[in-house]
Amino acid sequence: MTFLKWLVPGMNVKRWLVLLFLGMLGGALGLGLVMAYIYRAVPFTGLTSQIVIVLTLQFIPRIERGILLIGLGVGLVVASLFKLSHSLLSVFLPNPRDLVDILYRQRKLPRGPRIVAIGGGTGLSTLLRGLKGYTSNLTAIVTVADDWSRANPFRQQLGILAPGDFRNCIVALSDEEPLMGRLFQYRFGEGSGLEGHSFGNLFIAALAHITGSFEKALREVGRVLAVRGQILPSTLDEVRICPDLGINLDEDGQKLSGLPERTAKRVRLEPAGVVAHPDALRAVMEADMVVIGPGSLYTSVLPNLLVPGLREAVRSSRAVKVFVSNIATQVGDTEGMDVLEHVHIIHSHVGHGLFDYVVANDNFSSEVPADWPTELVRLGSTQPDMADLRLVEMDVIDMAAPTRHDPGKLSEALLKLYYDQASRRSVSRQPAEAIHTA
């Protein structure tokens, strides 16, 4: 409820309400003493006595009279404060009812944990949409790697990074009206000469040319749309995702085991020596929590972790580090894979130690339609490379879209994990053990 936000710690409102109450209480007691003195000192007779009896409600028992007067007084004060604030704020705010939300964003959210989300695609924007209700200290690190099998018209024609994933993150973190989000996501139809392009992509591309860089364009878009947090590319270098010639081999050159043959593949970045964005590295090192995923394993998650420097920063960060498994498998990439096989693929590419917790969905009550080319990701059996991880199973599925995460459920699960674990991890690192919590 909106009203309850006034009572949230850190809003700097309750103290002044208490002070107002104490001031009113003191004034009321003083007025009562004066009225009692007058009543006792001044003799009232005849019609005057009857008028005083009616005005002071002496025909009502004292307890009921006191309760009635207290309720009437509080109601009048609340109504007058509401009308006064509405009258004053209407000059500055289109809707003064938004005041509590503005105070909440300005006072409470900046005190939230510093969270870095790494990924891309719809999974990352879904995660950010939920987290922005708990903290404004958000950093989204988005992949810029192009798929080797598909051309990037923005890079080819305009000489900038593909802004699609960035656009989704901007809309997810924006505080602007829903109409602005719809405008940014609007995609031109046929016959316009801009077929397939979204307004948001073109807007970012235009700003990149006006400001001189893609980075500055992201900052300006974030300022215009009141984005909570920052959105950074994992690297500014031109990089592509390519199949690795060492397909079906792990980082030591050994054949991957325990995975479906069609999905046990490897990818790499070209060129290999790309440079990680320095602000992204700084955000990871200063983070209280680092969340990897959800998102496409081969085109969103791994391309970020394969950037030299970024994975080392994640590995050395003292933050609570979490990998969020996808809800459903992806056609052509992760068909037939379970949660632990997703983890195994990441370990085979970048090694162990990047995260300590794996958040997986445990609600399978909503089945995927039989004609959909995907299936829900199950837990799977424990494998050796899960021995140093903690598996957290929670209901994080969107019942309206059973192949996606629910932003509210996922953010609540991650914040619960953070507040449960952050204090003890700040003292000493927990000994490695595999546990399952529901």
Sign of CA dihedral 236, 238, 241, 243: negative
Q: Would the pLDDT of 203 be above 90?
A: no
User: Which of the listed ranges 228-242, 298-312, 325-339 does the model predict with the highest average pLDDT?
Assistant: 298-312
Q: Would the pLDDT of 124 be above 80?
A: yes
From residue 194, how far is each of 150, 158, 189 by CA, in Å?
Answer: 19, 14, 7
Mean pLDDT computed over 17-43: 81
> At how many degrees (to 10) do helices 178-185 and 199-211 cross?
90
- Which is nearest to 160 in space by CA: 268, 233, 267, 242? 233
Domain spans in the chain, listed from the N-terminal domain onward = 3-100, 112-144+234-437
pLDDT for position 181: 76
- Which is nearest to 205 in space by CA: 190, 181, 175, 184? 184
24-28, 73-77, 78-82, 257-261, range with the lowest pLDDT: 257-261
Which pair of structure tokens corresponds to residue 88? 């004053």
From residue 162, how far is each of 14, 37, 336 by CA, in Å?
Answer: 47, 80, 30
Query: Which stretches within 278-337 are classed as H helix?
Result: 278-286, 302-305, 310-316
Characterize 247-262 residue by residue with b for buried, 16 or more Cβ atoms within 10 angstroms of its Cβ, and e for exposed. Answer: eebbeeeeebeebeee
pTM (2 decimals)? 0.74
Cα separation, 85 vs 89, whole angstroms: 6
What is the longest distance spanned by two Cα atoms in the chain? 109
The DSSP symbol for 229 reads: S
Cα separation, 137 vs 160, whole angstroms: 27
pLDDT for position 17: 76
Report the top-level CATH class of 112-144+234-437: alpha beta
The DSSP symbol for 301 reads: I
**One-letter amino acid for residue 385 of the chain:** D
The residue that leads in pLDDT, 422 or 274, is 274
Q: Percent of the chain, pLDDT > 90? A: 23
Q: Would the pLDDT of 404 be above 80?
A: yes
Cα separation, 432 vs 353, whole angstroms: 11
* pLDDT tens, position by position, 84-110: 777 766 666 666 556 666 666 666 778
* pLDDT tens, position by position, 337-386: 888 889 989 998 998 889 999 999 988 887 777 777 788 888 876 555 56
- pLDDT grade for 74, boundaries at 50, 70 and 90: confident
- Which is nearest to 145 in space by CA: 277, 232, 235? 235
Cα separation, 191 vs 413, whole angstroms: 45
The residue that leads in pLDDT, 71 or 49, is 71
